Amino acid sequence: MKLVAVTSCPTGIAHTYMAAEALEQAAVAAGHEIQVETQGAAGAEALDPAVIAEADAVIFAADVDVRDKDRFAGKPLVSGPVKRGINHAAEMVDEAVAKAQAAPASDTAAAVPAAPAGPKLGPGAKLRLWLMTGVSYMLPFVAAGGILIALAFVIGGAEIATKVNGGAFEGVTYEAITDPTQILNQTGIAGLMFYIGGLAFSMLVPILAGFIAFGMADRMGIAPGVVGGLIAVAVGAGFLGGLAAGLLAGAIVMALKLIKANQAFQGIMRIVVIPLVSVFVVGFIMLVVVGKPIAEAQSWLTDWLAGLSGVNAVLLGLLLGAMMGFDLGGPVNKVAYLFGVGALASGDYTVMAAVMAAGMVPPLGLALATVVRGKLFTQAERQSGKAAWLLGASFITEGAIPFAAADPLRVIPSTVIGGAVAGAVSMAFGASLRAPHGGIWVIGLIGNPGGFIVALLAGTAATCLCAIALKTAWRSEAASAADEAAMPVI
């Protein structure tokens, strides 16, 4: 059996190497091959990615965080303190072998890195790795929540959202469901699915933020990251706010870990001080520094849009569409959406159609791009591309977040352009819509559905082409290598 191991300890001059030696002895004694990476003061000689790819199991004997542990994602793992590696090396080797035998063969095969991912990643690649870590943990929430919401619309019709949340739809006013345990009786299975899907969706940004911070600062990052993400949701900062919260939380915990506390203080540092300080600081910054300007910018944008009422319809569609595609459910998107809903209430149905077309385009365009040029996307992205079709068709713009959060600089311009095209074309055809949501499932409520479909196709093609062009023209080799290594197989 082939094993790889990483050893590390606080000072990096003694235990790191003792554990490496002990593990090597134990593995060889038991008839296995092993290669050990000593992350110590003598400088870590990184394991060859090919060796990692071939390994049947991984052992971490480490008292400090293993660097670049994403390289080992998907492998059977035995991990313990560095002393266990010294004192009970044989036991760790046996455990690793047992785990490797229990693991399905595909697990190890899937984690093969596409290219040599050097552990010395540049800052850009490192940032991307952190973002990808957050995205990979968020993906199941997107898939579960998005598909449940989409199915709720399919089964329950466009009014299902209003039935659950309350409000008026097509002239009928619904009471909001106040007691979730009654939801099945009152709204049927579709309402129940909508409710569960909505809850799963409400965790997108907190999980994204929490696990970006986890990628940066390990377990200590999760609490401030999740709390920062919750605040991003509360202040309507969307997934971009979540990215900021996650990076901020990770950076703060990383900084706090550097503080050398005196002896008496050291124990409570990890248990109390770091969580307390990091959560408070992240929360404070998110609320005061991030939250307020966003709220102000939103009200400014809303006023600005209202002042545009006389402007050319196609231009208005272009602007609203660009806004819809910009932050995919974030503050700018919300302003555009609410502008559409407001127009709906005042009897102008064309704005809502443009807004919905633009909101459907980002997931659809990216899903198309994963089919047209799969190589530009990670395996996980290609998988989530499949769900993105359904999410896009259901006007769940959030389906594009996994793509945008992992690679904002290339993806956001694509979704903005696609949204703008869709919004402008929809306005040009004068397509109209009498419902505030529902996607393709409310096609019966759409006036000039042919024009609406043309708008969708044009926007989808624009996003797809733009994403492919940007990802092809401006591609970081280190980042793309890191991608495959980083994504745990879901």
**Judged by CB, which is closer to other proteins: 38, or 278?**
38
Q: Which stretch binds other proteins (CB under 8 A): 15-23, 94-102, 228-236, 430-438?
A: 15-23
Strand order in the sheet with 77-80: 33-38, 2-8, 57-62, 77-80
Burial (CB < 10 A; 0-12, 13-18, 19+), residue 254, is middle
Q: Enumerate the β-bridge partners of residue 38.
A: 7
User: In the complex, what is the shortest distance from the CB of residue 59 to other proteins, in angstroms, rounded to a whole number?
Assistant: 15
Out of 4, 5, 18, 200, name the contact with other proteins by CB under 8 A: 18
Q: Of 81 and 283, which has the nearer Cβ to other proteins?
A: 81
Q: Longest Cα pair distance anywhere in the chain, in angstroms? A: 82
Q: Which of 3, 4, 5, 17 is in the footprint of other proteins by CB under 8 A? A: 17
Nearer to other proteins (CB atom), residue 92 or residue 468: 92
* Helices 313-327, 292-307: crossing angle, 10 deg rounding: 160
Residue 15 contacts other proteins per CB under 8 A: yes
20 near other proteins (CB under 8 A): yes
Cβ neighbours of residue 186 closer than 8 Å, sequence gap 6 or more:
163, 177
Residues 227, 234: Cα–Cα separation, whole Å: 10
- How many residues bind other proteins (CB under 8 A)? The answer is 27
Tell the smallest beta-carbon distance from residue 42 to other proteins (Å).
4
16 scored as a contact of other proteins (CB under 8 A): yes
CB 60, min distance to other proteins, A? 16
Tokens describing residue 14: 């003694």
- Catalytic residue flag (residue 9): yes
Burial 454-466 (b: 16+ CB within 10 A, else e): bbbbbbbbbbbbb
- Six token digits for residue 490: 């879901």
For position 87 contacting other proteins by CB under 8 A, the verdict is yes
Q: Which of the residues 3, 4, 5, 9 is marked catalytic?
A: 9
Among 182, 185, 202, 266, binds other proteins (CB under 8 A): 266
Rounded Cα distance between 58 and 93, Å, is 9
Under the binding rule (CB under 8 A), the answer on residue 86 touching other proteins is: yes
**C-beta closer to other proteins: residue 43 or 310:** 43
How far apart, in whole angstroms, are the C-alpha atoms of residue 275 and residue 270?
7
Q: How far is the CB of 289 from other proteins (least distance, A)?
A: 34
Out of 3, 9, 121, 427, the residue judged to bind other proteins by CB under 8 A: 9
| 42 binding other proteins? (CB under 8 A) | yes
Is 38 a binding residue for other proteins by CB under 8 A? The answer is: yes
- Considering the complex, state which of residue 25 and residue 302 has its C-beta at the smaller distance from other proteins: 25
* Minimum CB–partner distance for residue 12 and other proteins (Å): 8
Give the CA count within 13 Å in the CB-facing half-sphere of 169: 20
What angle do the packed helices 204-217 and 238-258 form, to 10 degrees? 30
The C-alpha atoms of residue 480 and residue 378 are separated, in whole angstroms, by: 8
User: Buried b / exposed e across 295-320, counting CB within 10 Å, b at 16+?
Assistant: eeebeebbeebeeeeeeebbebbbbb
484 binds other proteins (CB under 8 A): no
**Within its chain, how far is the Cα of 192 from the centroid?**
25
Candidates 38-46, 359-367, 371-379, 387-395; binding stretch for other proteins (CB under 8 A): 38-46
Q: Does 59 bind other proteins (CB under 8 A)?
A: no
Interface residue with other proteins among 25, 165, 302, 448 (CB under 8 A) is 25
- 178, 260, 307, 346: which one contacts other proteins (CB under 8 A)? 260
Asked if 8 touches other proteins (CB under 8 A), the answer is no
Is 235 a binding residue for other proteins by CB under 8 A? The answer is: no
Q: Which of the stretches 6-14, 140-148, 198-206, 334-342 binds other proteins when contact is defined by CB under 8 A?
A: 6-14
Q: Which residues are catalytic?
A: 9
Q: Which residues of this protein are in contact with other proteins, per CB under 8 A?
A: 9-18, 20-22, 25, 38, 40-43, 63, 81, 83, 86-87, 260, 263, 266
